[in-house]
């Protein structure tokens, strides 16, 4: 069944577990993620990044996910990830997305706040949840989000409190030391900053850059307010590597290769589901 982000994240935040937000941009990733949810009996957030509009339209993504999810009993949220364009966000709401992320993190604070507030006003009137971002993540190895020139900027807890109070946003993505992609060195995850943000806000927090983050750091983050963790790079890397290995041994029909790739995605997603709920 289709739902919004808030419905999935509030129980996770209150019970101290996290829900994976799995980047999806074709049939194989959408189906693999949703089947992982069915087999584990857990909610799924299928995140369609605005940068993947070259792969399919908002309307196609929505029609595909609705057709896969509506017969199911588990909650499924189709989430628009990392959109800097408010017009794209409004189109996603119209297309049937249950959640949207306005990413104004590169803008001056007051402009990010004003734009996010405008998005929340429209989205909430339609029953759609909103995620926003304060701070910024650097780009790691094999990153397919952000830019190579992105510089890490930690989220300021005091600014976060002002931002959330003024916008009524449903979830906030924070920067505490993770990266988009895989780490180039040993990560320094600032759980102390996260604790301060959580105590100030009391709403579900979001961790971008879940691929490759050490397990002990992830578990500490979940214990301190992180209810949604984005995963992209590892799903892609694993599916590409396993597809290449399969093609080196045999030459399956394209339709059969697609089914294998659904399984590759599903196995990686199931691993993360188990991880994020272990505490």
Residue linked to tokens 């999806």: 24
pLDDT in tens, 34-59: 999 999 999 999 999 999 999 999 99
Decide: 236 and 144 in contact? Cβ < 8 Å.
yes
Percentage of the chain beyond pLDDT 70 is 89
pLDDT (0 to 100) of residue 148: 43
CA 80 remoteness from chain centre: 9
* pLDDT on residue 96: 98
Residue 121 has pLDDT above 50, yes or no: yes
- Residues labelled as active-site residues: 81
CATH number given to 5-276: 3.20.20.70
Residue among 201, 207, 202 nearest 232 (CA): 207
- What DSSP string runs through 94-109? HHT-SEEEE--TTS-H
Q: Is 133 helix (H, G, I), strand (E, B) or coil?
A: strand
**pLDDT at res. 173:** 95
Q: How far apart are CA 80 and CA 68, in angstroms?
A: 17
Tell me the pLDDT band of 204, cut-offs 50, 70 and 90.
Answer: very high
Q: Name which of 100, 44, 98 is nearest 72 in CA terms.
A: 44
Predicted confidence (pLDDT) per residue in 65-90, tens digit: 999 999 999 999 999 999 999 999 99
- Cβ count near 71 (within 10 Å): 7
pTM for this predicted structure: 0.90
More confident residue, 93 or 106: 93
């Amino acid at each position: 069944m289709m739902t919004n982000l808030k419905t999935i994240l509030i129980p996770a935040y209150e019970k101290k577990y996290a829900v994976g937000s799995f980047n999806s941009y074709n049939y194989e990733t959408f189906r693999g993620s949703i089947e992982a949810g069915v087999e584990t009996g857990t909610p799924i957030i299928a995140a369609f990044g605005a940068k993947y509009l070259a792969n399919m339209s908002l309307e196609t993504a929505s029609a595909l996910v609705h057709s896969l999810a509506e017969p199911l009993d588990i909650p499924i949220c189709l989430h628009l990830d990392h959109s800097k364009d408010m017009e794209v966000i409004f189109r996603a709401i119209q297309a049937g997305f249950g959640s949207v992320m306005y990413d104004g993190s590169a803008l001056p604070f007051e402009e990010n706040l004003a734009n996010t507030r405008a998005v929340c006003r429209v989205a909430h009137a339609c029953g759609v949840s909103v995620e926003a971002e304060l701070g910024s993540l650097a780009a790691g190895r094999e990153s397919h989000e952000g830019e190579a020139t992105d510089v890490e900027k930690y989220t300021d807890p005091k600014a976060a409190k002002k931002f959330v109070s003024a916008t009524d946003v449903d979830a906030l993505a924070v920067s505490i030391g993770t990266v988009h992609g895989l780490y180039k060195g040993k990560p320094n995850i600032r759980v102390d900053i996260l604790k301060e943000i959580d105590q100030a806000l009391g709403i579900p927090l979001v961790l971008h850059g879940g691929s490759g983050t050490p397990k002990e750091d992830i578990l500490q983050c979940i214990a301190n307010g992180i209810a949604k963790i984005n995963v992209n790079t590892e799903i892609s890397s694993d599916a590409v590597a396993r597809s290449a290995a399969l093609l080196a041994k045999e030459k399956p029909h394209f339709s059969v290769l697609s089914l294998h790739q659904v399984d590759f995605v599903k196995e990686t997603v199931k691993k993360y589901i188990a991880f994020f709920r272990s505490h």
